[in-house]
Amino acid sequence: MKSSAQTGSLEATLQKRLARRESQGRLRRLDIPRSDLVDFSSNDYLSLSQDLVLRNALVAHLTDSDKESPSSSLNRRMIGSGGSRLLDGNSVFVEQVERKISKFHGSEAALLFTSAYDANVGLISCVPGPGDVIMYDNLIHASIHDGMRLSRATRKIPFTHSSIIRATRRSNVEEDSEVFTTATAPRGLELALKQLTDSDQQVRSGGSNVFICVEALYSMDGDIADLERVSSVVKALLPRGNGHIIVDEAHSVGVLGDGGRGLACQLGLEDRVWARVFGFGKAMGCAGGE
């Protein structure tokens, strides 16, 4: 047990840190959202999280299901999991949701996570193995970086953001000439991938996998990835099929594509994108990811 002196010392240290942050204008405080303000800060793009019709429909669904079969496995622990899905937290309800999501997005399968952040970390940390390579947009989301830190992939290679966004924005992005000036600077996707295949026989022969990570819609600047170009480059330089495109569609779901299915569906590239990650906490107005 900590002594009172130790506790007091820690409290004093923390107070000094807080005071220093406040003097620098870096102290953050939690505020309750006000109803008299227009929302330009949240990710609730379509205001679905505030929709009373959807809220009432959810409550009615839960109530009606409970009345029909209160003890069925479909309704068991619908509010809380009680444990991981591997042990005791799985349910028919969750598997039904995954099948519906898979069908909606035209994919072979879907797997739910507690957030899109966790989905990215889980995917990137688990799938690439020793000998594999991860190539990523240098402006990719932090969750991809966290996944790469845990990954067993042998190499992680960045490429310039401006090399994979649509031409309407590419001409306005000066990062290649202004920001990256060292010999180790990221190169464009095509050049980086060509240099990789030229230097790595395992990649060239198809013995090692290459995972190419991009976002569909970049929320900070509004850039949209040129997925058709990315797909063409990967197919041309990795003809043995060992190039796997991963697209973070967290900000494009609900906004792009037929019915909000995302950018890959909008472009008809579902079969050429190996994995897509969607977030439910933004346009969908819910929580979680897959």
pTM over 0.75: yes
User: Residues 6 or more apart from 169 whose CB is under 8 A from it?
Assistant: 221, 222, 223, 224
Instruction: Report the alpha-carbon distance of residue 130 to residue 16 in Å, rounded.
Output: 45
The pair of three-digit structure tokens given for residue 26, joined into one six-digit string: 């870096």
Cα 108 from Cα 248, distance rounded (Å): 17
Q: How much is the pLDDT for 69? A: 58
State which H helix or E strand residue 211 sits in.
Answer: strand 210-215
Q: Is the pLDDT of residue 171 over 50?
A: no
* pLDDT for residue 4: 60
Per-residue model confidence (pLDDT) at position 102: 95
Kindly report which listed range (62-71, 110-119, 135-144, 234-243) carries the lowest average pLDDT score.
Answer: 62-71
Of the pLDDT bands very low, low, confident and very high (cuts 50, 70, 90), residue 74 is: low
CA–CA separation, 63 vs 61, rounded Å?
5
Q: Which of 54-58, 233-237, 238-242 has the lowest mean pLDDT?
A: 54-58
Please provide the size of the chain in residues. Answer: 290
Whether the per-residue pLDDT at 172 is higher than 60: the answer is no
pLDDT at 175 over 60: no
Structure tokens at 250: 């967290």
> Is 70 a residue whose pLDDT tops 90?
no
Confidence (pLDDT) at 78: 60
Q: What is the mean pLDDT of residues 3-14?
A: 78
Nearest alpha-carbon partner for 227 in 188, 265, 176: 265
Does the structure show a pLDDT above 60 at 45? Answer: yes
> Which residues, listed in sequence order, are joined to residue 185 by a DSSP beta bridge?
none
Using pLDDT thresholds of 50, 70 and 90, give the confidence band for residue 174: very low
DSSP H/E element including 248: strand 243-248
Q: Which residues contact 144 (CB under 8 A, 6 or more apart)?
A: 120, 124, 136, 213, 248
Q: Is the pLDDT of residue 33 over 50?
A: yes
Q: Is the pLDDT at 206 greater than 80, yes or no? A: yes
Fold of 116-277: Aspartate Aminotransferase; domain 2 (3.40.640)
**103 vs 83, which has greater pLDDT?**
103
> What pairs with residue 248 in β-bridges?
215, 277
* Other CB atoms within 10 A of residue 160 CB: 22
| Neighbouring-strand partners of residue 276 | 247
Per-residue confidence at 278, pLDDT binned at 50, 70, 90?
Answer: very high
